[in-house]
Chain A
Amino acid sequence: MTIDIPFIWTALREIIKALPITLMLTLIPLCAGFLLGLILAIIRIYKVKILAPFVEMYVSFLRGTPIIMHVMLIYFGLPLLIDKVVKEMDMNVQTNAIPVSLFVLFALSLSAGAYLSETIRSGIVSLPKGQVEAAYATGMTTFQVMRRIVLPQAFAGSIPNFTNVFVGFLHTSSIAFIVSQKEITGAANIVASTNLKFLEAFIAAGMIYWGLTILIEVLSSWIEKRVYSYAKGGIR
């Protein structure tokens, strides 16, 4: 078998058209997961009655199973559930009409929520307790302490971990290909099988992922530098 190096470039130009879908499948779950993760982290830290054990189980299950499983469970399971609810409530919704990408986005958001909740929680827990006490001592409410003192520092301290999750979910978005989403991996597969040049197509896809990852890392270290000025002794 020979390798057709010029074709890598041809494939790359074709595959990169799928970039918006990959970005959508990465960014939307991360944003939704961030909000979900924040709520989950706070529930666990404050040991909210009744909810806390459920959250713990949720995080444990989702982090303890492959993300591809979540996509499968949602993709095959959720329509059954919706059908049942629709029947009970006598509504007019066709599960067949729901785009597949929505199921994928939903599943990835649930996974991202579980992972990010741990990232956020570790950021909160690592904050020196004394600062929290000092904030309470001035008479702040729990909400004010969270918003003014805890979360800004927890988020700043978690930037490297957020970057990890970001990169992880960029690559995870490729499993959407299994349910026929035409994101980068899906597009590579199509280019590969129509031209019967598999190696070239997947090298091209790999280069796109790698390039994106480098971009994310550069962005992250730039943000880190700006945010950490207080810790490194710089003056803003």
Chain B
Amino acid sequence: MIKLAEIKKSFGDQEILKDISLNVERGKVVAILGPSGSGKTTLLRCLNYLEKPDEGTVSVGEISLDAHSVRKKEIIAIRRQSAMVFQHYNLFSHKTVLQNVMEGLVVVHKMKKSIAREQSKKMLAKVGLEDKLHHYPSQLSGGQQQRVGIARALALNPKVILFDEPTSALDPELVGEVLSVIKEIAKEGITMIIVTHEMTFAREVADYVLFMDEGIIVEEGVPEQIFYNPKEERTKRFLKRLEGDDYDNQNHAGKGVHQHAL
């Protein structure tokens, strides 16, 4: 349902994505792992054209865009197929929680306000924020803000939700609440692509894992294979290094694996 073909993207003379191709089936949860600067966020942002690829084809749902012949209308059309959850939440700070979720429904999908309000309340209940409807983002914790971000994405009823490091900006003690919300909605069969550093989470929630480094997909496969039996040297090195560095986050993802002293 989602297809990337031969995507290339450079910033200046730095090649960020070197010929990436990818297929995601309906209802699958795909996790993209990799060191910083590997191009995983750029890849995600090419999917909704927040970054315009230099070359290649992006298909989401029925819409297919070739980088050489895109028009504004098509970009808007492909964006309406997906929804995004951002690292820094990016809630509209002049709107209440409820208004944040309703905004896309009313403005983009031209839904009647009363219907949009009901649907938004339902989504906010799903992420456990039914008691914060009339609060402003500045009154919420990071974890709560990110859950609003997730409700905002869910409400649009998209073909796919793109998660761009949804817990990276959170205080460690708030990571768990966001991950458990994502796990819940993953069970509902919504297609998701998640860029994350949370290894334990990725292992538990993903149907398929991509490991990226230096603008290419180094290795891909089911979580068991990538985590327990990686074939590529770079994947092995990355996972090994992460076992040391990322113990803190892993603990909060549920099953703590390592207990290092600081």
Contacts and interface: CB of A to CB of B under 8 A. Distances in A.
Nearest to B162: A137
Interface residues of A, number: 25
Interface string B36-53: 000000000000101000
Interface in B187-216: none
Given A139-B80, A139-B104, A140-B107, A134 B91 contact: yes
A224 B212 CA distance: 48
Contacts of A99: none
A156 B94 contact: yes
A235 B139 CA distance: 9
A43 to B, nearest CB: 18
Interface string B126-162: 0000000011101100000000000010001000000
Contacts of B77: 139
Contacts of A144: 107-108
A232 B94 CA distance: 11
B136 A230 contact: yes
B175 interface: no
A135 B92 contact: yes
Contacts of A137: 48, 50, 79, 82-84
B122 interface: no
Interface string A132-145: 01111111110010
A84 interface: no
B50 A136 contact: yes
Interface string B14-29: 0000000000000000
Contact of A233 (B83, B86, B139): B139
A133 B84 CA distance: 10
B120 to A, nearest CB: 13
A129 B101 CA distance: 19
A138 B103 contact: yes
A236 B91 CA distance: 18
B69 interface: no
A141 to B, nearest CB: 6
A130 B139 contact: no
B50 A133 contact: yes
B88 A130 contact: yes
A152 interface: yes
Contacts of B156: 138
A131 B48 contact: no
B172 to A, nearest CB: 22
A148 B103 contact: yes
A135 B83 CA distance: 10
Given A149-B92, A230-B93, A235-B134, A134 B86 contact: yes
B134 A138 contact: no
A231 interface: yes
A230 B91 CA distance: 12
A91 B187 CA distance: 76
Contact of A130 (B82, B86, B136): B86
Contacts of A128: 90, 93
A140 B103 CA distance: 10
B76 interface: yes
Interface in A191-236: 229-233, 235-236
B81 to A, nearest CB: 8
Contacts of B90: 128, 130-131, 133-134
Nearest to B104: A138
A210 B16 CA distance: 59
Nearest to A133: B50
A131 B93 contact: yes
Contacts of B136: 229-231, 233, 235
A61 to B, nearest CB: 34
Nearest to B87: A130
Contacts of A148: 103, 107
Interface of B: 48, 50, 76-77, 79-80, 82-84, 86, 88-96, 103-104, 107-108, 134-136, 138-139, 152, 156
11 contacts: A135-B92, A138-B103, A138-B107, A140-B108, A152-B94, A230-B136, A231-B136, A231-B138, A232-B138, A233-B139, A236-B96
Given A138-B108, A139-B79, A232-B138, 17 more contacts: A131-B93, A135-B103, A136-B79, A138-B80, A138-B107, A138-B152, A138-B156, A140-B108, A144-B107, A149-B92, A153-B93, A230-B93, A230-B95, A231-B138, A233-B136, A235-B134, A236-B96
